[in-house]
Structures are given as C-alpha cells and as structure tokens.
A = this chain, B = another copy of it.
Amino acid sequence: MASLLRTAGRARSSLVRPAAQALRRQYASAAAAAVSSDAGEQPFFPDEPGQPIIKTQIPGPKSKAAIERLSKVTDTRSLNMMANYQQSYGNYIADLDGNVLLDVYAQIASIPVGYNNAALQLAATSPEMASAIINRPALGNFPQHDWADILETGILSVAPKGLNQVFTAQAGSDANELAYKAAFMWKRQQQRGGYDADFSEADINSSMNNAAPGAPDMSIMSFKKGFHGRLFGSLSTTRSKPIHKLDIPAFDWPQAPFPALKYPLSEFSAENAAEEKRCLEETERLIQEFHKPVAAVVVEPIQSEGGDNHASPAFFQGLRDITKKHDVLFIVDEVQTGVGATGKFWAHDHWNLSTPPDMVTFSKKAQTAGYYYGNDALRPNKPYRQFNTWMGDPARAILFRAIIQEIERLDLVNHTAATGDYLYSGLQRLAERYPKDIQNLRGQGQGTFIAWDTPRRDEILKNAKAHGVNIGGSGMEAVRLRPMLIFQKHHADLLLERLEAVLKQ
C-alpha cells in the first residue's frame, strides 16, 4: 500500500511546477538520511528536509528588515516569524534567512496537507481554479453552473453524518455568525407558529430600530473559555481571554461552565464525571432561567484557543439531550477540530451521538468555511434572509475538494490517529522525566490534537524555535500541538528529541 501511495505521489510530482521541484532537489539529500533512520516508514514528502536547518537567530537580519518594512503599513506586533512559503515544503516552514523549521503549529492549525503540496498545486493551477479566481460569483444570485458538483464532490462529500446541506462562508467567525442567524430565525419562526407564519407589523417595524420583538432579546449560549471568533456576534460567545474582548460591545448572552477535568483521566474518573454532571446541570438551569431565551448552544469538541480543554463523549451526549429536551439548537464549532486532526474527520465523530448536531461549522484546514445542516426548517422561510454578496468562495471550495482527495489518497485520517497515538506515548514518557514541564497531558486517542500545561510555556515556545521547531500555545499555559495531517512518526521522533533538548535547558 505504502509503495502504491508513493508511486501515486511520484506520478503527480512530474506535473508540478519548477518551484516545487527545485525545493525537492534542495532538500533531497537531507531527506534520504531521515528515511534511512526510520523503521521503514515511507515519507509522504520524500524530498522534505531530514531535519530543521538553523542558520541564524530568529528573526535573522533579512527577516528583521522585512518586518521593519511591513510594520510601516500594518501592525506587526503579533508577528511570530516572517515566512518564505516558496521555500517551505511539507511539514517544514522556511524563513527569509535560510532557517527551516519543523512546523507543528501550521498557520494556527489551518494548513492540512503540507506546504507546496503537489496535488494542491495541480488544483491551484487548473483552468477551473483560474476561472473561480477571476470570475468570482455572487453565489446567492448567480451561482456557477457546476456549483452543485463542486459542493457534492467536495464539501458535502465529507458532511457530518445526518447533515446533507451547507451554507458557505469566508472564515470561521462569519461561519459561526451565520449559524447563529439561522438559529435565531428558526427559533422565532417556532414562536410565531411555524414556517408559514408571517412577520407581524410589530416585528417589521421594531426590527428597523434594532429593538424587540423584530430584533429579539434572544441569546446564544456558549461555554466559559470557549472561542468562536472575533466579530461582534461570535465574540459575544467567545470567552477565552480578556485581550480578545476588551473594549468591544457585546450581547448579554449566557455562558455555561465547561468541565475542568483532572489528569490523568484514569485516576480521576469519579471526580471528572461529577464535574461534567455539575456543568450539564448548570447548562440546563441557564437554558431554563436565563433572561434572554436561548436559541442555540454552541460548543467546541475541544476548546482550542481557550487552552485545549477536553470533555468526555458523555458530556456532549448530555448536551445533545438537554438541547433536544428544551428545543434549543445544538451547534458544534469544528473550526479548529475538524478535518482529520483528532483522528476522525470530525471530532464529534468520537461521541457517537444519538442524533446529529443541528449545525456544524468549519473553516481552517478546510481552507473554506461555512455550516452544515440537515434540517430543511433551518432554511429561513423567505429568500434573502440568509444572504450576502459572495456567500463563500468557489476557489476555496475547489481547494477543499483537492484537500479531501489528498486526505483520501493517503488515508490521512487513520494515519493521524496512529501517529497521534505514537506521539502521545512519547510525550507520556517525556512527562515522566519532566513532570513540571509536561502537566495535564491531554489528547489521548484524539490524533495529534495534543496539549499539556507548563508554567514556563512562553519560554519553551521560544526555545523550541531555536531548536528548529515551530510550536504554538493556547490558553494561559498550554503548549498545543497542531501538526498537519502529513505529520509522520519520524517527525514525531524529531519533535520529541528537540522538545527534550528544550526541556533540559
């Protein structure tokens, strides 16, 4: 099987543009060393560098000059690394000074199948893509004739179980907001007496004044430490950090407690079950008592930005039950967890829900965004209620289709489940040796979606860079690993080795 995949990869690579070929040649000798040192694993990117290349401090002199120039025209204070994507390849990100790092952050968890992936390059240089770029349609009014085909062979081919329709968007924030809008419209329709009931005069007139009942005093419930985006509606459901929220007006919407589990899970099963029960009870109480009726509950399968906080399948099944019971929609935000990284295509596949979520939002690794739904009643009762000029982007939908094909060709979801187990075991061993710096290790059985806490998080992330590894953080003290789906065991070995060198410091 592996040799077949390799052959397929080679056949495709012959069609690839010179830039990627040159990259492959450049890194080929290093890669050969890596392959031979590994126990028979075939690399997905045979010509990746065998290990990181560190030539200067980061940022080096060329990067510093480029940052200075960029900072004249836009704010660069959150800049982590000035990248050179022409020189980046597979799991490796390059900068302007010749440094090449193993990247387990992957553009905040958004690069799915490697920098300069040959199959994506083919899709990106197709006539179909060129047309999508230069003839961008207003999809709601003038969709392109093959839009159904692009959706069916792409976005919808991986639709979560039970959901067979999609509304496309631009990014995670607006995908969530559009799902919230659908929820409010649905809930108000219910209150009015159903799909065919018309708006009242009072609804119509008050809506234009941003007042109830037309602009209803209703709410979306989210969870403490949740993150759902940073536009005004999504930010009102985001409860990650003050720096995300300060000075921005917000809706008075409720937040439920999210379970604070204790690790290792096997030692605290009774306490954790009690904690989840407490959170579910409080969630139900808020739904019943909060002064603005709740139209939907939104939750991440793993709270990502807020610190990689997990809960059990039982907790999420409980949420599904409570929302059903109180006729509230259940929105699962899979913007960061979706598209394979947890070892299932959708993280909520781990839950074995009795009935599917009402809506599932996606973005990041999909490289396009939107929400899935399965219930016709979530189509608003009149046209132009859920509408905007572009309503998504066929170019990015075509790219997601190529990503899906690549995931299937290389069986990357199962691969990531296995690689994640391997990596997690290695981290467990490291945690035994460095218990202060690897606390609350979490993500077992969740693919490579792994994190842990350490009191010197920022220092570790910084030092990791000097050791050739690009890692991100989440919450206040979590190190979060977000490698791509093409991250393999030999990368895991390298990551563990470099990490140990950092922790020894």
Binding site for B on A (CB under 8 A): 17, 19, 63, 66, 69-70, 72-86, 88, 93, 95-96, 107-108, 110-111, 115-117, 120-121, 123-125, 127, 129-131, 133-138, 140-145, 147-148, 151-152, 156, 164-168, 170-174, 177, 180-181, 184-185, 188-189, 199, 203-204, 207-211, 214-219, 229-234, 236, 239, 242-253, 255, 363-364, 367, 379-380, 382-390, 395, 399
Docked CA distance A84–B17 (Å): 29
| Residue ID in chain B nearest A185 by CB atoms | B247
| Residue ID in chain B nearest A106 by CB atoms | B138
Specify which of B84, B218, B251, B385 is in contact with A210 (CB 8 Å cutoff): B251
| Residue ID in chain B nearest A83 by CB atoms | B142
- Residues in B with CB closer than 8 Å to A229 are 388
- Residues in B with CB closer than 8 Å to A246 are 185, 188, 199, 203-204, 207, 214, 385
| Residue ID in chain B nearest A62 by CB atoms | B145
- Copies in the assembly, this chain: 2
- Residues in B with CB closer than 8 Å to A199 are 242, 246
Given contacts A84-B145, A108-B389, A141-B78, contact A73 B207 (CB under 8 A): no
* Residue of A69, A385, A395 contacting most chain B CB atoms (<10 Å): A385
- Residues in B with CB closer than 8 Å to A166 are 73-74
Is there contact, CB below 8 Å, between A231 and B177?
A: yes
Given contacts A143-B82, A214-B247, contact A107 B138 (CB under 8 A): yes
Docked CA distance A120–B395 (Å): 14
Is there contact, CB below 8 Å, between B19 and A131?
A: yes
Docked CA distance A37–B420 (Å): 69
Specify which of B95, B234, B245, B247 is in contact with A188 (CB 8 Å cutoff): B247
Given contacts A171-B388, A184-B248, contact A242 B78 (CB under 8 A): no
| Residue ID in chain B nearest A390 by CB atoms | B171
Given contacts A174-B174, A388-B230, contact A135 B115 (CB under 8 A): yes
- Residues in B with CB closer than 8 Å to A147 are 70
Q: Can you list 9 pairs linking A and B with CB atoms under 8 Å apart?
A: A70-B151, A74-B166, A111-B136, A124-B134, A185-B248, A207-B250, A211-B250, A231-B232, A233-B249
Specify which of B66, B75, B133 is in contact with A124 (CB 8 Å cutoff): B133
- Residues in B with CB closer than 8 Å to A382 are 77, 243
Is there contact, CB below 8 Å, between A145 and B82?
A: yes
Is there contact, CB below 8 Å, between B78 and A384?
A: yes
* Residue of A73, A184, A215, A389 contacting most chain B CB atoms (<10 Å): A389
Is there contact, CB below 8 Å, between B78 and A107?
A: no
Is there contact, CB below 8 Å, between B230 and A233?
A: no
A377 to chain B, nearest CB (A): 12
Is there contact, CB below 8 Å, between A387 and B82?
A: no
Specify which of B133, B151, B236 is in contact with A395 (CB 8 Å cutoff): B133
A335 to chain B, nearest CB (A): 9
A395 to chain B, nearest CB (A): 7
Specify which of B86, B177, B383 is in contact with A78 (CB 8 Å cutoff): B383
| Residue ID in chain B nearest A217 by CB atoms | B249
Given contacts A73-B165, A165-B74, A243-B382, contact A127 B17 (CB under 8 A): yes
